[in-house]
Amino acid sequence: MGLGNEALLMVRAGLCDRIDGIAAGLNHLSSARLYDHVDAVRRVALDHGFLPLAQLSRGLEAALAAGERGVMVLGYLDLMRDAAACERLDAQASEAYLAAISVRLAG
């Protein structure tokens, strides 16, 4: 049994708030704290079936673990916010978001 519309909207809003908070505090967060915040978003996304957001979060976690920071993180956070607000939660939407981050990072 899935979440009702109101509950789903509250989860979406909470995820967007978390992502916005990460972006706002990016310059003040240690790498470990940044990773923890992204991991928290990923866990909530997985718990509620937000597959595109969970996969983007996983990608950002991998980049952070490899020592990446800076503009790349903002690109991920921007797409993560879009994914949190997106109505589609299926595998095809995940593929589209992963392709978008690949293009963004390559450009």
Q: What mean pLDDT do residues 36-61 have?
A: 97
Provide the mean pLDDT of the chain.
Answer: 94
Note down the domain range covering 98.
Answer: 5-106
Distance CA 74, CA 67 (A): 15
Q: What percent of the chain is modeled with pLDDT above 90?
A: 86
Q: What mean pLDDT do residues 90-106 have?
A: 93
pLDDT band per the 50, 70, 90 thresholds, residue 2: low
pLDDT band per the 50, 70, 90 thresholds, residue 1: very low
Q: Residues 6 or more apart from 18 whose CB is under 8 A from it?
A: 37, 40, 41, 44
Q: What is the pTM of this model?
A: 0.92
Distance CA 81, CA 86 (A): 9
Number of structural domains found in the chain: 1
pLDDT band per the 50, 70, 90 thresholds, residue 4: confident
